[in-house]
């Protein structure tokens, strides 16, 4: 493992967590892992050096074996269960330890848990990621990081083992807020793009040429650049981000609107639209299938 470092704790070996943990192994880190899925616990060790991965039965046991602990969990409810539930992480924390919440949690909940960790002399920082499973496998994620300088300095080598771009966002909770708001902007752009494609189709326009017009003009966004010709027009709908996760990020953005009292009408529209799409298509549908959903509504 990297000189002067101990094993890294890793809780949550799902679709993103598993390749992120494997990226750390490739960088020479040892791991103490915890996940409810025994197959995931076995999969993370594949290709790693003998003895590089140890399994922990509980989150508290992860804290016993690692000074830096990564959480890659679905949402704040699961984070709370792992940190505050039976054999949870918080009660086992020691002074100087750093917990890195890399999932898409609610900023207010992140600040609450950070205060509880600080009361034990530890630190909790937020470091949500931007990028697909492909980037997680390559270790090239973009990672937003909120938290104090001392905690960031301890966490930085671990974060660089999973991502190539680190962006400091400010106080703890700020990274989770920026991630949710970024994904809201992406969702709004994707929805507008899908609607425009349906309007162009109904008007008899050449959709490939329309995509070129969008990408050469002011309508250009990440959806027009990376989703239209690649996923939507061929009907592949395999953009790599689940519709249920998109809706979850919109709900997190909605919690920010409620907390701040800002009237966010476009956000409310997106939230309602994705809720309807989720009910129709299911949470594991690709987010680009919002285009298919629009066609079915017609």
Active site residues: 179
Q: Write the CB contacts of 47 (distance below 8 Å, at least 6 apart in sequence).
A: 22, 25
d(CA 298, CA 293): 9
Q: Are residues 110 and 126 in contact, defined by beta-carbon separation less than 8 angstroms? A: yes
d(CA 249, CA 238): 19
Angle at 164 between CA 241 and CA 186, to 5 degrees: 35
Q: Are residues 96 and 108 in contact, defined by beta-carbon separation less than 8 angstroms? A: no
d(CA 219, CA 211): 10
d(CA 184, CA 186): 5
With 0-12 CB in 10 A as exposed, 13-18 as middle and 19+ as buried, what is 203? exposed
d(CA 103, CA 109): 12
């Amino acid at each position: 493992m990297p000189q002067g470092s101990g094993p890294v704790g890793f809780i949550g070996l799902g679709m993103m967590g598993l390749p992120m943990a494997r990226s750390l192994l490739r960088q020479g880190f040892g791991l103490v892992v915890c996940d409810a899925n025994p197959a995931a616990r076995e999969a993370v060790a594949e290709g790693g050096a003998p003895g590089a991965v140890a399994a922990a039965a509980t989150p508290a046991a992860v804290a016993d074996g690692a000074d830096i602990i990564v959480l890659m969990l679905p949402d704040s409810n699961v984070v709370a269960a792992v940190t505050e539930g039976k054999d949870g992480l918080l009660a086992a924390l020691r002074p100087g330890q750093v917990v890195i919440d890399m999932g898409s949690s609610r900023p207010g909940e992140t600040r609450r848990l950070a205060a509880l960790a600080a009361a034990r002399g530890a630190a909790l920082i937020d470091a949500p990621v931007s990028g697909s499973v492909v980037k997680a496998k390559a270790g090239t994620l973009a990672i937003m990081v909120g938290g104090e300088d001392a905690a960031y300095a301890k966490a930085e080598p671990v974060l660089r083992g999973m991502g190539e771009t680190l962006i400091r966002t400010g106080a703890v909770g700020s990274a989770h807020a920026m991630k949710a708001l970024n994904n809201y902007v992406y969702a709004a752009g994707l929805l507008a793009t899908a609607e425009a494609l349906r309007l162009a189709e109904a008007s008899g326009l050449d959709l490939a040429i329309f995509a070129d017009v969008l990408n050469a003009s002011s309508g250009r966004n990440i959806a027009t650049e990376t989703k239209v010709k690649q996923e939507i027009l061929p009907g592949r709908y395999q953009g790599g981000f689940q519709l249920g996760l998109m809706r979850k990020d919109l709900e997190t953005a909605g919690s920010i609107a409620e907390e701040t009292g800002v009237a966010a009408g476009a956000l409310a529209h997106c939230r309602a639209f994705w809720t309807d799409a989720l009910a129709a298509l299911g949470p594991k549908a690709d987010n680009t299938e919002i285009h298919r959903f629009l066609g079915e509504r017609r």
